[in-house]
Amino acid sequence: MTKSSNTPSSKKNESLKTTRRNFLKSAAALPVMAVAPGLLHAASSEHVVVIGGGFGGATVAKYIRLWSNNSIQVTLVDPKALHTSCIMSNLVVNNRLRLDQLKITYDSLRDTHGVTVLRDKAIDIDPAAHTVRLKAGGNLHYDKLILAPGIGFKPLEGWDKKVMPHAWIAGNQTTLLKRQVSRLAQDSTFIMTIPRSPYRCPPGPYERACLIADHFVRKGISETDEARVVILDANEDIQAERETFSKAFDGIYRNIIDYVPNTEVFAADASTMALDTSFGEYRADAINIIPNQRAAWLLRKTGLTDGGDWAPVDPVTYESSVYPDIHIIGDSQATKQPKSGHMANSQAKVCADAIVRLMKGHAVDSKERLDNLTTNSACFSPITYDEASWLSANFAYDKSSGRMKLEHIGEAHEWSKGNYKEMFAWASNLFNDSFI
């Protein structure tokens, strides 16, 4: 947090000599000295089930174990053996990173923190019986259930994601988009559709557009070439880092990027590579459909969205407004905080703290806690091959409305190589704080 570099103390030098395993153990032990005795020593066999092993799910599993001094059992359920990070995945599209560099195991959650990791898919929830049904068979009983399943997509007529990838959940889709981008020629047209807000990672689409425009630039495009990146935005304006992206679209990428706001996409046709929109038909050599979004399927099926797109929660605990003992964090919940991995991590800590308090019989609504309930989001956006900008936002609980209120927001005055370097330090620490 400090701007100045620290002078390593003898204590710090000693810690550098320890093995990685010892380091992790000492890190896990540290909270013990700071925890109130009542929260520390109550023996417990309560069971928390976490559905979804992304940034939110991994963080909440880890921090419940840390803050309960390992007294609360936590089971994490995810169908995949590894998590592939959406964060930094645009750098796979422009060939700065390999996808395998964004894959994170659950080994540390299991081996260091004692989380039970189940590779399975949750297919049903019975809120009355407090059980989750698993695809492989059998039911998992929970005292508290935490849902962190990410996003779901709204349907779009005629859309085939194998032809027009979304690449908005990292993995094979990211690889497919990368392949399509690598084939673009100097007279190619690339279209990206941006969903109506709210959607996952508000600056992400604009960042991706910049990197694909940069791809054209680095191929040596001149002002007479026909290459275009057309952004069809369902929103009336740029949704994040407006100053930065406006400057990029109107400046270094003015001959490549066409930004078209207020554009609704009605249908897609993979056979003709065409989109039917509120401004008529668009055709392109490659199309990146980032569809309109909503809460993940399991939440809608269980009725947790209460008829809306997202699941309403109390941000003091992230408990569902529909069913007790079910908590929802990250992209699927309905608070107005931005949907991002960093924010999911932030909400996960508030939720973990609440779960530990609730299970140990402590209040979650003391004035002191409510006065200090904060979340934040920070992210870096690559704008060129080796330069980045950043966005910072802080939220605090507002007792009068019962909502998280934006306290402060800021964005970088300019993109820079220094920011690009800092982006990797940010991501490394975010990955570690969530999964290690």
Which residues make up the interface to other proteins (CB under 8 A)? 1-6, 8-9, 11-12, 23, 27, 30-31, 33-36, 39, 62-63, 66-67, 342, 345-346, 349-350, 353, 357, 366, 368-369, 372-376, 378, 390, 392-396, 407-410, 412-413, 421-422, 424-426, 428-430, 432-433, 436
CA distance 219 to 229: 14
Residue 362 CB, shortest distance to other proteins, in Å, is 8
CA distance 155 to 137: 29
Locate 15 and state its tokens.
Answer: 């810690």
Provide DSSP, 279-313.
Answer: TEEEE-SEEEE---EEE-HHHHHHTTTTTSSSB-E
The residue among 255 and 394 lying less far from other proteins, judged by its C-beta, is 394
The residue among 35 and 217 lying less far from other proteins, judged by its C-beta, is 35
Helix/strand/coil for 82: strand
Write the Ramachandran bin of 238: left for phi over 0, alpha for psi from -120 to 50, otherwise beta. Answer: beta
Residue 315 CB, shortest distance to other proteins, in Å, is 13
The residue among 263 and 419 lying less far from other proteins, judged by its C-beta, is 419
Residue with tokens 């995945």: 89
Residue with tokens 């297919």: 123
CA distance 384 to 8: 35
Kindly list the strands in the beta sheet with 388-398, ordered across the sheet, starting from the edge strand earlier in the chain: 374-382, 388-398, 403-411
For residue 331, what are the CA distances in angstroms to 67, 103, 268?
24, 20, 26
Residue 11 CB, shortest distance to other proteins, in Å, is 7
The residue among 139 and 366 lying less far from other proteins, judged by its C-beta, is 366
- Phi and psi (nearest 5°) for 398? -105, 110
The residue among 166 and 339 lying less far from other proteins, judged by its C-beta, is 339
Residue 332 CB, shortest distance to other proteins, in Å, is 20
Provide DSSP, 209-240.
Answer: HHHHHHHHHHTT--TTS--EEEEEESSSS--S
The residue among 274 and 396 lying less far from other proteins, judged by its C-beta, is 396
User: Residues 89, 378: contact at Cβ < 8 Å?
Assistant: no
Helix, strand, coil % over all residues of the chain, rounded to 5:
30, 25, 40
Residue 72 CB, shortest distance to other proteins, in Å, is 15
The residue among 230 and 329 lying less far from other proteins, judged by its C-beta, is 329
The residue among 59 and 239 lying less far from other proteins, judged by its C-beta, is 59
The residue among 245 and 259 lying less far from other proteins, judged by its C-beta, is 245
Residue 169 CB, shortest distance to other proteins, in Å, is 21
Residue 145 CB, shortest distance to other proteins, in Å, is 21
Beta bridge pairs of residue 311: 333
Residue 151 CB, shortest distance to other proteins, in Å, is 20
* Radius of gyration for the alpha carbons in the chain, expressed in angstroms and rounded: 23
Residue 253 CB, shortest distance to other proteins, in Å, is 24
Write the Ramachandran bin of 198: left for phi over 0, alpha for psi from -120 to 50, otherwise beta. Answer: beta
The residue among 101 and 428 lying less far from other proteins, judged by its C-beta, is 428
